[in-house]
Amino acid sequence: MRIAVVGSGYVGLVAGACLAEIGHDVILVDNNQAKYLALVSGECPIHEQYLPDLLDKHRGRRLIFSNKLAQAAAACDAVIIAVGTPPASHGEADLSYVESVAREIASSIDRYKVVIGKSTVPVYTSDWVRRVLLLNGVREDLVDVVSNPEFLREGTAVTDFLYPDRIVIGANTPRACSVLEEIYRPLVDGSYYEREDRFRFPLSEFRLAKLITTTAKSAELIKYASNAFLAMKISFINAVATICDFVGADIDEVREGIGSDERIGYKFLNPGIGYGGSCFPKDLSAYHAVARECGYDFRLLEEVVEINNQQRERFLRKVQKALWTLNGKRLGVLGLSFKGGTDDVRESPAVTIIASLVQKGATVCVYDPAAASRGREVLSSDRIRYAKSIYEAAEGADALLILTDWDEFRHADYSLVRDLLKYPIIIDGRNLLSPEKMRALSIMYFSMGRPDVRPLHMADPTASRTEVSQEPIYGTYQPAMEPESDDSALVE
Ligand code: UDX
C-alpha cells in the first residue's frame, strides 16, 4: 500500500520506517525544511534504538521523504497524521496542526482514501477532521477518517511497533477498517515474522498482536485512558514509597508483594523521581480537559499529577538530608533525559532537579549517554558542566546523584566511582543500584522508599530522637561534612 505519513517526530518517523519495513511504500512528509533536509541527507534526528538501521535499510527505496504535503497525499491510498498536539493554555491539546494538515490534503482526495489519526487527540477529533475535509470540498464517499492510536515508548519504539501487544483500529465504516487491516496484516497474520530479512526482536518469544476494532471515539479514548492509567500506577507506587520512607519499610519488598498479584503486575510499579516525557504530562492534562468539557471533574488525574510533582521535591529533600546544605557543593549527576534509552529531555524530572540544585547554589557536573546536547538547550548556567563519562561526573564531587535509568549507570564500576568522589555518597532517584552492593562498597546510599545505607556512626541527624538516640550525634561526621561557608548554615 502507498502511505503518506505526515510529521517526522518520534511517532511519524518510527511509524514511517516501520511501515516501510513491513512492506509498504511510504512517503514521510515534513514541512520543517531543516528536518526534511536532515532526513534526506541520511541523518536520524532522534536517538532511538534500531531506527538508524531501519532508515538506512529503506531510505530511497520503500521510504522517501518529501516537503510537499498535497503532492504526497495525492500519490497515496492512506494518509497518516502524526503531527504534534502540544498543550494549549488550559491543558487541552492544541489541534491546529492536525486541522491544517486536513485542510491541506483536501484538494488531493480525488479517489477513495483513508485519513488516519495517530497523534494523541481528544474524542471527536476524527469527526472534526472529517468535517474539515468535507468543508474543503472532499466528496463524502471518497474519505473515511480513522483513529489508530500509537503506544510506542521512546527508546523501544521500533520493537514496540514491529512486535506490538495490540493494534487498535477505530473506524466507523467497514471499508476503512479493511484498509487498516490490510496495512497491519503482516503483523497480525504473522507473515512479517516469517521473512528472512525481518528485523529481529531481541527476545525469542512473542505473541502475535491482538487486533482491536472499535469506533473512532473509543479508540481516541483508549489512548488517553492507557496513558493516564500508567501514570496513575507510577504515582501510586511513588506514594507507597513515600510511606515506606516514613515507616522504614522497603519498597522493593512491598512492590514484590503487590506486583505478584497477577491482577496488578510489576510493570510500571518502579518508584523514582516521577514520570516525564512528551506524553504522560501532556496527555494527562489533555484528558483532564476532555473530562472537564464533558462536565466531569476527573479529580483522580489531578492527584496523579500532584504526586508526580511532589516526587521531585521529595528527592531534593533527600539530597539535603544527605548533604545538609547545598550552597557551594559540587554534585556529580547521572542523567538528563526523562528516562533511559532516549535523548529526549522534554518534561524531564532530571532537568527540573538540576535547575533547582543550581538555584540552591550547587555546581553540577552532569553526564548523560545521549541527551547532553538537548540538555544544553534547556539548561544553561556557568554552574553546569557536561561530562563525557560517569567517572568524570563523579570526580571530586561531594556526592553523586542518579536521575535517569540508563543501563550504563546500573553497570558502572562503583568502587572506582567511590574512589573518585570526594565523599562516598550516592543519592539514587531511580533505585537503580543495590543497597547491599553499596553497603559492601562502604558507600552511603540513599534511594526512594528503601532504608538508607550508612555506617552506624553516621545516623541521620534529622531522624526522630528515639531513632538516633543509640547513635553518636551528627558532629562525629565532621571530617566529611564540615560546612564550607557561613551561608551553609542556612538550611531551608
Ligand atoms: C509513554 C507510553 O508508555 C506509550 O505507550 C505512549 O505511546 C507514549 O507515552 P514514553 O513517554 O516513551 O511512553 O515513556 P514510558 O516508558 O511510558 O515512561 C514514562 C515516564 O514514566 C518516564 O519518565 C519513566 O522514567 C517513568 N516511569 C516509568 C517510572 O517512573 N516508573 C515506571 O515504573 C515506569
Longest dimension (CA), the chain: 83
With a 6 Å cutoff on the Cβ, whether 148 touches ligand 1 is: no
> Which of 234, 255, 346 gets mutated to test ligand 1 (max ligand atoms within 8 A of its CB)?
234
Q: Give the atom of ligand 1 at the shortest distance from the alpha carbon of 227.
A: 2
Euclidean distance between CA atoms 304 and 310, whole angstroms: 10
Right CATH for 311-446 from 3.40.50.720, 3.10.450.50, 3.40.50.10880, 3.30.110.30 = 3.40.50.720
Sign of the alpha-carbon torsion through 387, 388, 391, 396: negative
DSSP 204: S
Cα of 308 to ligand 1 centre, how many Å? 13
- How close is the Cα of 350 to the center of ligand 1, in Å? 14
**Edge-to-edge strands, sheet with 166-170:** 63-66, 25-29, 2-6, 78-81, 113-117, 143-147, 166-170, 210-214
- To the query of whether residue 18 is one of the catalytic residues in this protein, the response is no
Q: How far is the CA of 275 from the centre of ligand 1 (A)?
A: 7
pLDDT value of position 463: 63
Q: Could you tell me which residues are beta bridge partners of residue 225?
A: none
Is the Cβ atom of 164 under 6 angstroms away from ligand 1?
no
Ligand 1 pocket check for 154: Cβ under 6 Å: yes
For residue 465, the CA-to-ligand 1 centroid distance in Å is 40
270 lines ligand 1 (CB under 6 A): yes
Alpha carbon nearest to ligand 1 atom 34, residue: 268
CATH class of 223-308: mainly alpha
Among the listed residues 18, 76, 177, 279, the single catalytic one is 279
Annotated domain spans of the chain? 2-214, 223-308, 311-446
Beta carbon of 340 within 6 Å of any ligand 1 atom: no
Compute, in angstroms, the gap from residue 469 CA to the centroid of ligand 1: 42
User: Which helix or strand (DSSP H or E) is residue 406 part of?
Assistant: none
pLDDT of 481 reads 38
- Decide: 272 in ligand 1 pocket, CB within 6 A: yes
- Are β-strands 363-367 and 384-386 bridged in parallel, bridged antiparallel, or unpaired? parallel
- Give the residue, out of 11, 230, 315, with the most ligand 1 atoms within 8 A of its beta carbon, to mutate for a pocket test: 230
Virtual CA dihedral for 324, 326, 331, 334, nearest 10 degrees? 80
Q: Whose CA is nearest to atom 3 of ligand 1?
A: 153
Per-residue pLDDT of the chain (492 residues; tens, 9 = 90+): 999 999 999 999 999 999 999 999 999 999 999 999 999 999 999 989 999 999 999 999 999 999 999 999 999 999 999 999 888 888 888 999 999 999 999 999 999 999 999 988 888 899 999 999 999 999 999 999 999 999 999 999 999 999 999 999 999 999 999 999 999 999 999 999 999 998 887 666 778 999 999 999 999 999 999 999 999 999 999 999 999 999 999 999 999 999 999 999 999 999 999 999 999 999 999 999 999 999 999 999 999 999 999 999 999 999 999 999 999 999 999 999 999 999 999 999 999 999 999 999 999 999 999 999 999 999 989 999 999 999 999 999 999 999 999 999 999 999 999 999 999 999 999 999 999 999 999 999 999 999 999 876 777 766 654 333 333 333 333 333 333 333 333 332
Q: Dig out the grid coordinates for 192 from the structure.
A: 512479517
Q: Provide the CATH topology of domain 2-214.
A: Rossmann fold (3.40.50)
Q: Which three cell numbers stand for residue 86?
A: 502540544
**Exposure of 273 by Cβ count < 10 A (0-12 exposed, 13-18 middle, 19+ buried)?**
buried
pLDDT of residue 464: 52
What CA–CA distance (Å, rounded) separates 206 from 208? 7
Cα–Cα distance, 351 to 332 (Å, whole number): 14
Label residues 219-258 b or e (16+ Cβ within 10 Å = b): bbbbbbebbbebbbbbbbbbbbbbebbeeebebbebbeeb
> Do 2-214 and 311-446 share a fold?
yes
Using a 6 Å cutoff on CB, does residue 150 contact ligand 1?
yes
Q: Which atom of ligand 1 is nearest to the CA of 160?
A: 5
Mutate to test the pocket of ligand 1, among 165, 334, 339, 448 (most ligand atoms within 8 A of CB): 339
**Residues 158 and 14 sit within 8 Å (Cβ to Cβ):** yes
The pTM of the full predicted model, rounded to 2 decimals, is 0.89
The atom number, within ligand 1, closest to the CA of 349 reads: 23
Contacts of 252 (CB under 8 A, 6+ apart): 431, 450
153 CA distance to ligand 1 middle (Å): 7
Atom of ligand 1 nearest to the CA of 156: 12
Pairing of strands 210-214, 166-170: parallel
The answer to whether the beta carbons of residues 167 and 26 sit under 8 Å apart is: no
234 pocket-lining for ligand 1 (C-beta < 6 Å):
yes
Chain centroid, CA 160 distance in Å: 14
